[in-house]
Structure 1
């Protein structure tokens, strides 16, 4: 069971003071968070691409490259790269460069993205949302598989037997498919034999088990070795010394961020009752003391089949020291419990 962190490098107003941290400061803080995650033995850190004022990571590969030079073991991934509005050649080159700096620790998590700001910014039409992703993924996979590429699509100039450089340390450079729970994207990942990442940020994680099963059936149907295909989840959460302290610290920024998005998307108001309900064993929030969070991750592994768990922290703006403490607790206290208990469980179920 791999355990790590994901972030969107948010710069929303502080829920208590209204102060807005600068993009530059938040980016520097995230690099420090990645360095800490590496030092305490976490497996992976993901940075998500966004193109709006309240998120600072429009170029995740550059942030990951800065961290790559200061880390030794942790894997470094986008979470996600909005592939529909990106140039696959440049995406591959960027992450091959991160792979070189990190000596083989880079990954690409490709997704369509739930935010649309990148489309007008880069001159794409939203009506081509799905078609752009399919074409760009096809090209990205061709580049992954071959140094010289010949390709033709409907939205990008053709490539005729051209090389794409640098080549990565890893062969192949890992490419994951990120999904919010769409059955079509899950099946696509399975048929292509690509690792799958599910954003489990609402409802009950158990509801995602049928999607994991669908993914595995599709992969098996296409002739892939299902035992070699990892499944990851990305879920919001926070860890503190006590569960009450974790909940009280995490709720204000989460409420503010969720209500801002809810206003944009027509969701209902997010309140403490909804937050507390999601903290239950069957909920999608991983908030509590180390033992509580460890129990939920173990529950997720046993009931959903996830083999990599990424805690998304913070949601909104929280004090950097609190985020660093949560990361420390995840690596030093939660991860050992999870690994020990799951090792026993897997041994019993051989």
Structure 2
């Protein structure tokens, strides 16, 4: 689910203090299974990354896609909403007072190791990013496969496609948040000032192409313009 520059990114050769700020993101946090108060922000490794690299940490609250441990699946939505509420409370206040139905209450308890920036960004994710990549694979494979014996092209394996669509691969696919983060990362790394994307290939159905264009126009492009301080595009 995550596709922006993260802790596995190779460190630049410049001294830490001369490095420009860069965005760091954790992998998705399945908050239905985990306890936000037990370690979502209490992460010494992240604190170290912030001090050494002056990173801006960006956490991702991901909708858990695995079997829940100790949680009745019938309560899934309630548990997710409750723990997300706790996570937001932890983000907004160092001393947390909170109560819910699925974990013990907190009464003015501190959550140490606060993020460097004033307000830690949180992204809500779901199965959409993974499904988007899975849905695109057969069309990408069809697009690149040789159409005649000995013709130009090649067969893309699932492993190759996974690498290409990963955080540092060439394909811009996944959730809008992933695409936004990936474009901004490439701008930071390579100084790009224009993005050109191909959204129709390999026989993609018209609704799929339309959905991609709509997300690009209504979510990705506005977020990029806002991040770069550019004026809004045409309505």
2:57 counterpart of 1:106: yes
After superposition, what is the alpha-carbon deviation per residue over 1:254-303, rounded to whole angstroms, capped at 9, x for unaligned? Answer: 68x9xxxxxxxxxxxxxxxxxxxxxxxxxxx859xx9xx5xx75x99xxx
Contact 1:79 1:109 in 2 (8 A): yes
- Aligned pairs (5 A) from 1:1-350: 4=4, 31=8, 34-35=9-10, 39=12, 73-95=21-43, 98-102=46-50, 103-116=54-67, 119-120=68-69, 123-181=70-128, 200-203=132-135, 248=154, 250-253=156-159, 293=170, 297=172, 308-310=180-182, 331=186, 336-337=191-192, 339-341=193-195, 349=233
CA distance in 2, matches of 1:112, 1:254: 26
Contact 1:96 1:106 in 2 (8 A): no
Q: 1:347 to 1:142 in 2, by over 3 A?
A: closer
Q: Report deviation, 1:253.
A: 2.4
Q: Report deviation, 1:341.
A: 4.3
Question: Greater share of helix residues, 1 or 2?
Answer: 1
RMSD: 4.9
Q: Give the alignment's TM-score, normalised by structure 1.
A: 0.39
Contact 1:150 1:161 in 2 (8 A): yes
Q: Report deviation, 1:250.
A: 4.8
Structure 1 gaps of 5+ residues are: 7-29, 41-67, 182-196, 205-234, 258-284, 312-329
* Number of equivalenced pairs: 179
After superposition, what is the alpha-carbon deviation per residue over 1:30-78, rounded to whole angstroms, capped at 9, x for unaligned? Answer: 84xx11xx539xxxxxxxxxxxxxxxxxxxxxxxxxxx9xx87432212
Q: Which structure: larger Rg?
A: 2
Aligned to 1:84, the other structure's residue is in SS state coil
Contact 1:99 1:170 in 2 (8 A): no
Q: Report deviation, 1:150.
A: 0.8
CA distance in 2, matches of 1:39, 1:5: 13
Q: 1:39 to 1:142 in 2, by over 3 A?
A: same
Q: 1:286 to 1:101 in 2, by over 3 A?
A: closer
Structure 2 gaps of 5+ residues are: 146-152, 197-220
After superposition, what is the alpha-carbon deviation per residue over 1:199-250, rounded to whole angstroms, capped at 9, x for unaligned? Answer: 632447xxxxxxxxxxxxxxxxxxxxxxxxxxxxxx9xx9xxxx78xx8585
